Amino acid sequence: LVSKLTSSGLLKTRGLIDGKWVDAHDGDTIKVLNPATGEVVANVPCMGQNETNNAISSAYNAFRLLVGGISSRGLVMGVQLLLCCLCRLASMPSEGNGTWISPLQYDLLISHKEELGQLITLEQGKPLKEAMGEVIYGASFIEFYAEEAKRVYGDIIPATLGDRRLFVLKQCCLFLCNPFMQQSHEFLQPVGVVGAITPWNFPLAMITRKVGPALACGCTVIVKPSELTPLTALAAAELALQAGIPPGVLNVVMGKASDIGDALLASPEVRKITFTGSTAVGKKLMAGAAGTVKRLSLELGGNAPCIVFDDADLDVAVKGSLAAKFRNSGQTCVCANRIIVQEGIYDKFADAFSKAVQSMQVGDGFSEGVMQGPLINEAAVQKVESFVQDAIVKGAKVLLGGKRHSLGMTFYEPTVISDVTEAMLLSREEVFGPVAPLLRFKTEEEAILVANNTKAGLAAYIFTNNVQRSWRVTEALEYGLVGVNEGLISTEVGLILCSPMETIDWLLKTYKMSVAKQVAPFGGLKQSGLGREGSKYGMDEYLEAINAVHNLK
């Protein structure tokens, strides 16, 4: 497979800076491992401050050159600008509205969904169909934002003085005009150079969810993928190059995470950090961004409650909770972390849910029929083990699983644990693994109190057939995303991620037919983060609103 991917040209093993594939300056490398087998898939450069600074300069030059206009920059830059514009307009069939995004980028991702899916399974471990589902999901952000770029509207505000006109400018329309004739605006409405730091659990989609709107707004980007899963990021960058993205607009560096992070934070040229990952690192980035007052988007950890009321449809609740819990072997920040079940339905639910969990096949993501792959690494398994041990010591009962899988490596048995209380680690922190803790409650008020009793506020799920209750509880929950009788909340295409049994072609067709894609905003309250990704709200994260006051006198 590795040699097949290499010959397809998508297995890239160098960083991308200024449109060129480069190694670390000292030749240092890190290994990328297949979590299912422990085999080395590839070696990639172990980069640090040096390479990050080069990437920042490249991204900054691309941003200034292409967005800043030419009037004050002389002929040489003017010629460069014209060449870049021509190259871009020729290769990127966007509407010429100051965006780096194009439908071609989407088409290339989709036409390479098999190779990209294979790369995801190789370095991340999720089942191949789920991985290909991620490609479709990830690509959908590019499609959505390529369209959304046309709808970055400004505003006209009635002025209090009759001879003034107030405009709010958001869109950079430089490319609507001939760059040699005039500059249509003095303003740089995109936020500027963006540092995008992404995790390993969605090696493609967490990148496109950030890079899509950033490019759509005219920003230039330095992506720092997780060191555990850089290959998918590099393959996506290669496809962006094939789609004609100009040098410097998209850069990829990887290696020493804190050195790269520090370089991004220290640079006044980087105007925004967008991050998905742990709350601990998110807090560090937030503190570090203060030095240069950067904008921030943070998608941090969750501790999702999944509340099952006595009046829920048992079948719907079991299916929804299963999807909410076991997607990506429990390794997503919206995975149900606490299944809080009302006492009247508790035993029936525990029984039906355990049966459903038991039916899931565990194995290498490349094997047919597998629904649960390995965990990302040994540290992840040890964390799960320590949480389960803590629960057992404090009186919880293991209904199913509760130990490493006989397959060895980082495989862990899908697990259901009952009689979990709020005192246990399983309900206080994200387990990030295939362990479903069941908690018991009596009243609606108690369920809401338990659900909100956490610093996190990302996703929550409720299962009930009582309409009034569903609205009441939705509004009482301190969460950014609430699924009501629904275990999949990342808009329609989220369906793909949890349906490894379905064929990808069917899913793709379903997705193609659906009119609404990436229409709902994704983001958390409290310590789960800042900002929203996806949807029309995701654009604002990469735009400045510039107030232009015109005096008519």
Q: Interaction with ligand ADP in 135-194: which residues (CB under 6 A)? A: none
CB under 6 A: which stretch of 146-154, 184-192, 242-250, 278-286 binds ligand ADP? 278-286
Using CA atoms, how far residue 196 sits from 17, 47, 222, 298, 546, in Å, is 14, 16, 6, 10, 24
284 counts as binding ligand ADP under rule CB under 6 A: yes
Choose one: 123-131, 254-262, 477-485, 510-518; the region binding ligand ADP (CB under 6 A).
254-262
Q: Which two tokens stand for residue 325?
A: 């819990």
Q: Are 362 and 372 in contact (CB under 8 A)?
A: yes
Question: Which of 69, 98, 117, 277 is close enough to bind ligand ADP by CB under 6 A?
Answer: 277
Does position 33 bind ligand ADP by CB under 6 A? no
Distances, alpha carbon 532 to alpha carbons 209, 274, 337, in Å: 10, 11, 21
Residue 361: in which H helix or E strand, if any? Answer: none
Per CB under 6 A, 227 contacts ligand ADP: yes
Q: Which residue number, 197 or 339, has a Cβ lying nearer to ligand ADP?
A: 197
Question: Of the listed pieces 27-35, 79-87, 275-283, 418-426, which binds ligand ADP according to CB under 6 A?
Answer: 275-283
H-run or E-run covering 524? none
User: Of 130, 227, 238, 299, which one is the catalytic site residue?
Assistant: 299
Distance of CA 460 to the CA centre of its chain: 18
What CA–CA distance (Å, rounded) separates 63 from 57?
10
d(CA 533, CA 553): 42
Considering the complex, state which of residue 428 and residue 536 has its C-beta at the smaller distance from ligand ADP: 428
Q: Are strands 164-169 and 155-157 parallel, antiparallel or unpaired?
A: antiparallel
- Least distance between ligand ADP and beta carbon 200 (Å): 6
Gyration radius from the chain CA atoms: 24
CA dist., res. 117 & res. 126, Å (int): 9
Count of residues engaged in binding ligand ADP, rule: CB under 6 A: 14
Query: In the bound complex, what is the minimum distance in angstroms from residue 550's beta carbon to ligand ADP?
Result: 43
- Check if 299 is active-site: yes
Question: Cα 398 to the chain's mean position, in Å?
Answer: 32
Give dist(CA 511, CA 540) in Å, integer: 25
For ligand ADP, which residue has the nearest CB? Answer: 261
- Compute the least distance from the CB of residue 541 to ligand ADP, in Å: 18
Q: How far, in Å, CA of 220 to CA of 247, rounded?
A: 10
Nearer to ligand ADP, 48 or 192 (CB): 48
Nearer to ligand ADP by C-beta: 47 or 188? 47
Query: Taking the complex as a whole, how short is the minimal distance between the CB of residue 124 and ligand ADP, in angstroms?
Result: 12
List the one residue from 1, 77, 166, 257 that touches ligand ADP (CB under 6 A).
257
Stretch that binds ligand ADP, among 59-67, 98-106, 143-151, 273-281 (CB under 6 A): 273-281
Question: What does the alpha-carbon distance between residue 399 and residue 318 come to, in Å, rounded to a whole number?
Answer: 15
CB of 345 to ligand ADP, least distance (A): 33
d(CA 219, CA 223): 12
Amino acid at 329: S
What does 191-247 look like in DSSP terms, one character per residue? --EEEEE--SSSTTHHHHHHHHHHHHHT-EEEEE--TTSHHHHHHHHHHHHHTTPPT
Contact yes or no for 298/330 (Cβ under 8 A): no
Nearer to ligand ADP, 257 or 520 (CB): 257
CB distance 152 to 539 below 8 Å: yes
**Residue with token string 């194995």:** 363
We find the least distance from the C-beta atom of residue 301 to ligand ADP, in angstroms, to be 8
Phi and psi for 84 in degrees, rounded to 5? Answer: -65, -40
Of 111, 258, 359, 389, which lies in the binding site for ligand ADP, with binding defined by CB under 6 A?
A: 258
Shortest CB 330 distance to ligand ADP, Å: 13
Please state, as a whole number, how many other Cβ atoms lie within 10 Å of the Cβ of residue 284: 16
Helix (H, G, I), strand (E, B) or coil at 529: strand
As a dihedral over the C-alpha atoms of residue 243, residue 212, residue 171, residue 268, rounded to 10 degrees, the angle is -100
298 near ligand ADP, judged by CB under 6 A: no
Of 224 and 532, nearer to ligand ADP (C-beta) is: 224
Estimate to the nearest angstrom the gap between the alpha carbon of 452 and the chain centroid: 24
Binding to ligand ADP, residues 187-226 (CB under 6 A): 197-200, 224, 226
- Contact between 281 and ligand ADP by CB under 6 A: the answer reads yes
The distance of closest approach from Cβ of residue 42 to ligand ADP in the complex, given in angstroms and rounded to an integer, is 17
**Closer of 44 and 281 to ligand ADP (Cβ):** 281
User: Based on CB atoms, which residue is closest to ligand ADP, 48 or 437?
Assistant: 48
Reported as type and span, the H/E element at residue 340 is: strand 336-342
**Binding residue for ligand ADP, selected from 37, 97, 278, 485, defined by CB under 6 A:** 278
Q: Confirm if 211 and 534 have CB atoms less than 8 A apart.
A: no
Please identify, using beta-carbon distances, which residue of 142 and 206 lies nearer to ligand ADP: 206
Q: How far is the CB of 265 from ligand ADP (least distance, A)?
A: 8
Which is closer to ligand ADP, CB of 260 or CB of 370? 260
Compute the least distance from the CB of residue 38 to ligand ADP, in Å.
18
- Which residue intervals of 359-440 are DSSP H helices? 378-393, 425-428
Q: Catalytic site residues?
A: 299
Sites of contact with ligand ADP (CB under 6 A): 197-200, 224, 226-227, 257-258, 261, 277-278, 281, 284
